[in-house]
């Protein structure tokens, strides 16, 4: 049985050990410990300086490469999309800088921008009143334009928008004429479902969808909304000569990424091409080259993010 003397001995032993440690630390071992810590600190500072130097070198090299690519991209892209018309569809949460860069690059490639459509969050809303009003307008525009939205598993609203913005491919165009399509789009705009920017509107051959992140609601709600935006991209691809979903994953810091969601759905990723670095010269070139690939019946995922087929889209043969 442990008695009181055992406790006393234990406590005394602890204090003796502590006293010995203090004496040694302040005496014979003081210099050795101090020198060791000083050397380690100096080594860490040296490593930090070396890493900072490497980072600066890498940043300088990246800036130089981007500058070079920007300088030569005009020659490389010139005429790549000549005689092609492209509809730009901008999703909520998309970076304005990406949209602007894509428009400029399409112009460099010789494409004609047929329209720019910014879709609002109400397009995928699950709130009962909003969804009911939206579906009522969709049905009205469908009847007004004579668009065929039946068949398949796609949402009628997605098929309608794809029919109004693009020319049906590859079986041939069966949609409304351009003035009728524009009237339908304007009705959707008046209902707050989208905004349309198109001075000389025509239905387009190809589509670029500029995506971002979904930030409203909890994780399940965000995932559902992102999936619905992917469904819209698939509908646009099905009704046109091809669609590319462009984004800048590096700048997406929060929310659920539409492009990442696309790449997580194998059936969708095999139809709609994706570019995840669309704010960089290489990514912008990939948007153009991916459109060419889409027009030829192919698809792929390109960029520096996960689940890509290559860093950049295949360069068309001249």
In this prediction, residue 273 carries a pLDDT of: 98
For 236-274, the DSSP string reads HHHTSS-EEEE-BGGG--SSEEHHHHHHT-HHHHTTSEE
Tell whether the model's pLDDT for residue 51 goes beyond 80.
no
Q: Is 241 within 8 Å of 208 (Cβ atoms)?
A: no
Read off the tokens for 28.
């014979």
**Residue 309 class from Cβ within 10 Å (0-12 exposed, 13-18 middle, 19+ buried)?**
middle
**Cα separation of 213 and 92, whole Å?**
8
Q: How high is the pLDDT of residue 260? A: 97
Split at pLDDT 50, 70, 90, the class of 68 is: very low
- Closest CA relative to residue 71, chosen from 248, 285, 286, 276: 285
- Decide if pLDDT at 72 tops 60: no
Q: Which helix (H) or strand (E) holds 35?
A: helix 30-77
User: Which helix (H) or strand (E) element contains residue 209?
Assistant: strand 206-210
Q: Is the pLDDT of residue 83 over 80?
A: yes
Please calculate the CA angle 169-172-173 and round it to the nearest 5 degrees: 90
Average pLDDT over all residues of the chain? 86
User: 9-20, pLDDT tens digit by residue?
Assistant: 667 667 666 665
Pairwise CA distance, residues 77 & 60, whole Å: 25
Which tens digit of pLDDT belongs to each residue from 168-177? 755 567 789 9
**CA distance linking residue 3 with residue 7, whole number of Å:** 7
pLDDT of the residue at 54: 72
Q: Which two tokens stand for residue 10?
A: 């234990």
Q: How far apart are the first and last CA of the chain?
A: 94
What pLDDT is recorded for position 77? 85
Cα gap 101→80, rounded to integer Å: 17
> Cis bond leading into 170, ω under 30°?
yes
pLDDT of 293 reads 97
Q: What is the pLDDT of residue 11?
A: 72
pLDDT tens digit string along 236-290? 999 999 999 999 998 887 899 999 999 999 999 999 999 999 999 999 999 999 9
Q: Which residue has the tokens 């459509």?
A: 117
Please report how the helices 156-165 and 128-145 are oriented relative to each other, as an axis angle in degrees rounded to 10: 40
* Token output for 27: 């005496």
Residue-range domain boundaries for the chain: 1-77, 83-302
Number of H helices, E strands in the chain: 10, 9
- The pLDDT tens digits of the residues spanning 223-236 come to 999 999 999 999 99
The pLDDT assigned to 153 comes to 82
| More confident: 47 or 125 | 125
Per-residue pLDDT at 258? 97
Residue-wise pLDDT tens digits, 192-225: 999 999 989 999 999 999 999 999 889 999 999 9
- This prediction's pTM: 0.80
- Six token digits for residue 211: 């995506």
User: Is the predicted pLDDT of residue 71 greater than 50, yes or no?
Assistant: no
């Amino acid at each position: 049985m442990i008695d009181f003397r055992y406790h006393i001995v234990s406590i005394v032993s602890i204090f003796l050990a502590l006293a010995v440690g203090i004496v040694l630390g302040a005496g014979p071992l003081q210099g050795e410990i101090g020198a060791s810590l000083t050397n380690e600190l100096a080594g860490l500072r040296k490593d930090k300086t070396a890493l900072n130097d490497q980072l600066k070198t890498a940043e300088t090299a990246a800036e130089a490469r981007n500058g070079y690519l920007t300088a030569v991209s005009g020659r490389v892209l010139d005429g790549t999309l000549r005689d092609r018309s492209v509809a730009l569809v901008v999703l909520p949460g998309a970076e304005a800088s990406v949209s602007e860069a894509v428009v400029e690059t399409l112009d460099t490639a010789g494409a004609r921008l047929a329209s720019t459509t910014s879709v609002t969050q109400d397009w995928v809303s699950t709130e009962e009143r909003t969804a009911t009003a939206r579906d009522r307008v969709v049905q009205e525009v469908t009847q007004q334009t004579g668009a065929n939205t039946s068949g398949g598993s796609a949402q009628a609203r997605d098929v309608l928008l794809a029919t109004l913005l693009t020319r049906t491919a590859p079986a041939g165009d069966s949609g409304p004429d351009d003035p009728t399509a524009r009237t339908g789009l304007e009705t959707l705009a008046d209902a707050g479902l989208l905004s349309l920017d198109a001075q000389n509107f025509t239905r387009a051959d190809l589509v670029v969808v500029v995506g971002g992140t979904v930030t409203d609601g909890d994780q399940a709600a965000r995932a559902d909304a992102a999936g619905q935006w992917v469904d819209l991209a698939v509908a646009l691809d099905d009704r046109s000569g091809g669609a590319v979903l462009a984004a800048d994953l590096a700048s997406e810091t929060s929310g659920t990424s539409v492009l990442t969601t696309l790449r997580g759905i194998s059936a969708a990723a095999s139809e709609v091409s994706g570019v995840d670095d669309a704010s960089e010269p290489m990514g912008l070139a990939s948007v153009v080259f991916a459109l060419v690939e889409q027009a030829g019946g192919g698809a792929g995922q390109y960029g520096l993010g996960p689940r890509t087929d290559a860093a950049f889209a295949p360069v068309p043969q001249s």
